[in-house]
Structure 1
Amino acid sequence: MAIQSIDMTDETWKRLLALRQRAAARPQAHDPALAVYGPIAEAKGRFVLAQVGQSLDGRVATPAGDARDISGPDGLAHLHRCRALVDAVIVGEHTVSADDPRLSVRLVAGPSPVRVVIDCHARLTGTESLFSDGGAPVIVFRSAEAEGAPLGNAEVVRLSPCENGLATKDILDALGARGLDRILVEGGARTIARFIEAGLVNRLHVAVSPIIIGSGPSGISLPPIERLASAHRPDTKVYSLGSDILFDCLLKPGSPSPSKGDEVQVTDFA
């Protein structure tokens, strides 16, 4: 499998931002940067990208939860490009509690996405930074049965819970009703896995950084399988970002995992 290098020039990035705004058409000339980011920027209707930044041994944090330095500088720039090209970014409640992320676009030029948090059991306290940092709007999904603290200016959307949490399709439908169709599912591992299990992810980006952690949570935590014949084998292309290697995986929405689970678990351990 050949590895192509992504050389993101200012001209190419401006072209992608114009494509995002429907102000330009994607050029026909082959450019690895356009091949990776073009499908996100030009997506029409619902489009879900899942992104994982992990170590060589598939870890996204230490056992103590330290995850801040896993991705190299080019891996972080890649993540911020993805944020700038989508309408909304989704994370689980545990990611917010553990990492206190801003979920903004700081490393590249472009708009910051609406920030979406899945907080089924209303565990967030409202003291988390994203509720008071003056950044992009925040939407929080909670169970209709849960009572919790007020969350500043965040919009709280209450959904009827399923057996194990909130249905991923219901979340996407609610976002789509608000004009938010291009979605980045950023973390953690179980949140990403639930969207993959439900067959709702169009593309999966796995950015691998050349470090070995040895133990800790994995980047994607899907239910176990007995035979490799049941494993996901997506069409994949590999790119060098510079400090990190990107696996760009084409998934097929509507084709759930052998063990389908379309509810988002309340607890998200990465």
Structure 2
Amino acid sequence: MSSIFPREQRVEQLFDRILRDPRACRRLKETFYESCPETDLMDADSVEATDAIFANALIRAYQNQDLSAFLMAICGNSMFDLLRNSFLIPLRFNDKDVENPVILTDETGALRDNLPVAVPDKKYKIFCDLYREKPEIRDFQMCLAYGFRERHFYSEDLKVQTDKIGEHLGVLLLYQLPKDIENHAADAEIYATVWNYMMQLEETLPRAFMYYGKMEKDGKELESDRIGIFLPFHHFESRMKKYMEMANGIGLACRGNIVDMLRDRASITPAKK
């Protein structure tokens, strides 16, 4: 029997960082207990496993050494759902071919056609007011977007189901990285840098999302990686302009750190042909 989800790659460094950071340990614990239906902190959307689902998940987890199989039964989250929903790992753009975040505006700030979600006039007006005053930053883009997180659980017939949670409209800030990034740094190095700044982002602006990797446009992957910071209106609308300034400071510092690393590498390492 195979595991429900493919094993994530290169997780040792990530787990080590989480275990060495008391803030990260606290958030992971809180997310787990908030997801458990037996606790006083039970979320209204938590999934309570039936006896059959619980027993099947427990046995499957034992047989396959698959922790996610058991976690899904007791708290409605896989192992990496818990990490994502604790804001302990950045989200990859369009991970597993699921468009996330969904970009709702074009390069001029106008709404795109045939949007998959409704955009209230009030939210769009707030975005337009902010867009008119957006800072002049090189290789920077500001969009209205729809973002979400996911959790996984079992149906009664033991099929894996996926739910979107934390669905919000908000402002997405995008910072383009150099096009030749793969020539001078391993993905794990970029990930480690992004993780450090993501932790800073969560301490400064809790519940902001951080994305990274390659985005798609019109079904085609863009040439260069990007860092994205998503500020949901639900959490940040009251002082969005101020919060955007704070997020830009973190996003630009993250990009600057990566660019400096690439510049140092390029000076001593010949570029790949």
Richer in helix (by share): 2
User: Shared fold by TM > 0.5?
Assistant: no
TM-score (normalizing by structure 2): 0.25
TM-score (normalizing by structure 1): 0.25
RCO higher in structure (CA 8 A, sep ≥6) = 1
Q: Which has the larger Rg?
A: 2
